[in-house]
């Protein structure tokens, strides 16, 4: 039986090609095959012109590749190639379904290495010059998503933290705002929405909790929503 290849789960970062780690870019340039997400940009894929490219994109509300199929593709690629890259937007270990892919590969005895990436929340904070923590105001942050697995409740309890960051926000963030208002959060609580973070078409919206629904009407790209007192504009801060 031929030796199995090695699989690298690499974080592509938030979108801009030059925000991938040096290590991630180096491994991409050596890969024989790259299975990439829908959020990975053409500029990022230009870093691996030598590799066979396989799209395994998953986008909410759109036709996408089932996770079980992706798992099987990774196993099959490791049986055919020495060096396999699974390229994921953001960081593989945060809302990246890495657990399912790791389990599938480990079950077949396939060697795996995880290369971290910049998660979108940190890139969004940098893009807006808006720290997620602020001394005396916010000392805790929670990352969450409304996306659930089959059988899970559609509306799990919201984290009780100072700053909330909702991944894959979109229309789901409207429901989050409604629940927070019902819990007694003030209507003018600051909200910052970042669409297409770090890309050329990045869009930043500064809203309030009560106005969140109207602000998301025109969003088409991936959206991240940040909520909390720490998002208050500083004096002299550019909007």
- pLDDT interval class at 154 (50, 70, 90): low
Distances (CA, A) of 170 to 3, 9, 97, 173, 175: 44, 26, 20, 6, 10
- pLDDT interval class at 155 (50, 70, 90): low
CB 192 within 8 A of CB 226: yes
As a whole number of angstroms, the distance between CA 230 and CA 184 comes to 18
What is the pTM assigned to this prediction?
A: 0.90
Residues 75 and 128 in one domain: no
Would you please indicate which residues are annotated as catalytic (active-site) residues? 37, 58
- The answer to whether residue 239 sits within a structural domain is no
Per residue in 69-105, pLDDT (tens digit) is 999 999 999 999 999 999 999 999 999 999 999 999 9
Residue ending a domain, choose from 115, 137, 159? 115
Average pLDDT of the residues of the chain: 91
- pLDDT interval class at 198 (50, 70, 90): very high
Distances (CA, A) of 144 to 75, 158, 227: 29, 8, 12
As a whole number of angstroms, the distance between CA 75 and CA 67 comes to 13
Q: Per-residue pLDDT for 1 more than 70?
A: no
- pLDDT interval class at 239 (50, 70, 90): confident
Burial of residue 177 (number of CB atoms within 10 Å: 0-12, 13-18, 19+): buried
Residues spanned by the domain of 56 = 6-115
Per residue in 16-72, pLDDT (tens digit) is 999 999 999 999 999 999 999 998 999 999 999 999 999 998 655 555 689 999 999
The DSSP call for residue 3 is: P
Total domains in the fold of the chain? 2
Task: Provide the CATH number for the domain around residue 204.
Answer: 3.30.950.10
Q: Per-residue pLDDT for 236 more than 70?
A: yes
Per residue in 8-24, pLDDT (tens digit) is 999 999 999 999 999 99
Task: Provide the CATH number for the domain around residue 48.
Answer: 3.40.1010.10
């Amino acid at each position: 039986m031929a030796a199995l290849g090695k699989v690298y789960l690499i974080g592509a970062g938030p979108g801009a090609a030059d925000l991938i780690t040096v290590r991630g870019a180096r491994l991409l340039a050596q890969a024989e095959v790259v299975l990439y997400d829908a959020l990975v940009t053409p500029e990022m894929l230009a870093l691996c012109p030598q590799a066979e490219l396989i799209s395994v994109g998953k986008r909410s509300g759109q036709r996408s590749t089932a996770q079980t199929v992706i798992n099987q593709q990774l196993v099959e690629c490791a049986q055919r190639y020495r060096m396999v890259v699974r390229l994921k937007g953001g960081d593989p270990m945060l809302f990246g379904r890495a657990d399912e892919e790791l389990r599938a590969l480990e079950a077949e005895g396939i060697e795996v290495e995880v290369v971290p990436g910049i998660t979108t929340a940190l890139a969004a904070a940098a893009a807006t010059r808006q720290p997620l923590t602020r001394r005396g105001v916010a000392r805790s942050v929670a990352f969450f998503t409304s996306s659930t697995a089959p059988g899970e409740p559609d509306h799990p309890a919201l984290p009780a933290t100072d700053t909330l960051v909702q991944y894959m926000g979109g229309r789901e963030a409207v429901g989050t705002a409604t629940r927070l208002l019902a819990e007694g959060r003030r209507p003018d609580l600051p909200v910052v929405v970042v669409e297409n973070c770090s890309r050329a078409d990045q869009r930043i919206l500064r809203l309030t909790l009560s106005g969140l629904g109207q602000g998301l009407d025109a969003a088409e790209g991936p959206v991240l929503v940040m909520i909390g007192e720490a998002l208050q504009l500083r004096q002299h801060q550019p909007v």
